[in-house]
Structure 1
Amino acid sequence: METMLPDYLIREQAAVGALVVFGLMRVIVAAVARTRGWRILVVEQSLIGVAVLWCAPQLVDLIAHPSSGLALAGLEGKAIGCAIALFFSPILSHRLGYE
């Protein structure tokens, strides 16, 4: 018999995964941008684009199957995790001295 995970667990796992990935990526890219002389605005805009691509598979699945609760939970979790990470990671990279 196949067991299904509840939507809230899928949402939480997707949010934590996106939070970790984009939080670390933002701090690492800010450190590289500082050494190479890149503008931080370009880094922020490119990471927003990567976040949209990160959420695209669930968005396409949700468009293809509008009643899919699994796709909706995954999309919500990834979007929330990306938003939190991209909002708070500039504070951390500023504290570390990369901005």
Structure 2
Amino acid sequence: MWQVLPDEYVRAQLAVGALVALGVARVVAAGIGAQRGWRIAAVTRWFIGAAVVFCLPQIIEVIFLGNSHTAFVELQGKIIGCAVALFCAPIVSHRLGYE
């Protein structure tokens, strides 16, 4: 018999996954950027683009298959995780001295 996970679990897993993936990558990029003289605004713009690309498969599925409940739940989780990562990663980078 096929069992389905509740929507809250799927959202939480994808939110944490996006938070860890983008948050850690953003802090590492800020560290590398500080060593190489990159502008932090450029790093932030690159990671906003990365968040859009990360969510793009679900965005396309929700737009073109408007009846896809699973894609909408996955998109919600990814957007929440990306938003928290893009908010918190600069704070962590600043505390580490990269910004």
> Which TM-score bucket, shorter chain as reference?
over 0.9
Please list the CA deviations of residues 52-89 of structure 1 after superposition, one character each: whole Å capped at 9, or x if unmatched. Answer: 00000011111122121110110000001000010111
Structure 2 counterpart of 1:68: 68
| Residue in structure 2 matched with residue 10 of structure 1 by the alignment | 10
User: Stretches of 4+ moved more than 4 A in 1?
Assistant: none
2:28 aligned partner: 28
Unaligned runs of 5+ in 1: none
Show the counterpart of 1:19. 19
Q: Percent identity?
A: 52
Aligned residue pair count: 99
Any residues of structure 2 matched to 1:49-60 within 5 Å, and which?
49-60=49-60
What amino acid maps onto 1:38 in structure 2? W
Q: Provide TM-score, normalisation by structure 2.
A: 0.96
| Unmatched 5+ stretches in structure 2 | none
Query: d(CA) in 1 for partners of 2:64 and 2:6?
Result: 21
One-letter code aligned to 1:53: V
Do 1:7 and 1:69's aligned partners in 2 also have CA atoms closer than 8 Å? no
